[in-house]
Amino acid sequence: MGTGEDVTIGKLLMAEYDRLKEEQKTRIGFRDNLLYVTLAVMVTVLIGAAQTDQSSVLLALPAATFILGWTYLANDQKISAIGSYIRNDLGPRLGDLADRNGSPFGWEPTHRRDGRRRQRKIIQCAVDLAAFGAVPLTVLIAFWVSGAATVLTVIVSVLETSAITVLAAQIVLYAEIEADSPAPRPS
């Protein structure tokens, strides 16, 4: 019946832990690279608008930053959800199997108790808001004052303003600034 190895609950839970940590690591790399992609998109759009002397080209930036920002936020939420699951569910179950009081994974809760965590989370929230909120809104304002608006571009810019506002609100809601705040559940 197979390889002859015992499949135990502990081995299954450790395999789950390994896969979750691998997924978390992959998502962290992807999420962090999204900031670089966002900066590259911003520079590209701004250069394009300057070279073509078409202010309507600026409308590509809010659309792109909204998509990239939403993807960034979704990955960040999954990273936090994985950590929360390991801290609050998987770790304690493994601890129970090992007759230990609590999780065998000390790093998972320990790094969240760092005295400067709150400060780092506030700064990261500000960076995220600047990249995915302030810059696109500034570009929209630049477009509006350019005087080159048509009915269609005004409609597009209003929709983009709404999308960026929603994204900025979600960035703040998911910031997890408090040390013991659980990862918000997607609705």
pLDDT in tens, 16-34: 999 999 999 999 999 999 9
CA end-to-end distance (rounded Å), the chain = 43
Give the Cβ contact number of residue 24 at 10 Å: 18
* Residues 65 and 135: beta-carbon distance below 8 Å: yes
Total Cβ atoms within 10 A of residue 32: 12
The pTM (predicted TM-score) of the whole model is 0.86
Model confidence at 6, pLDDT cuts 50, 70, 90, reads: low
- Contact, 164 vs 136, CB < 8 A? yes
d(CA 127, CA 74): 16
What is the spatial distance between Cα 97 and Cα 113, in angstroms, rounded to a whole number?
A: 26
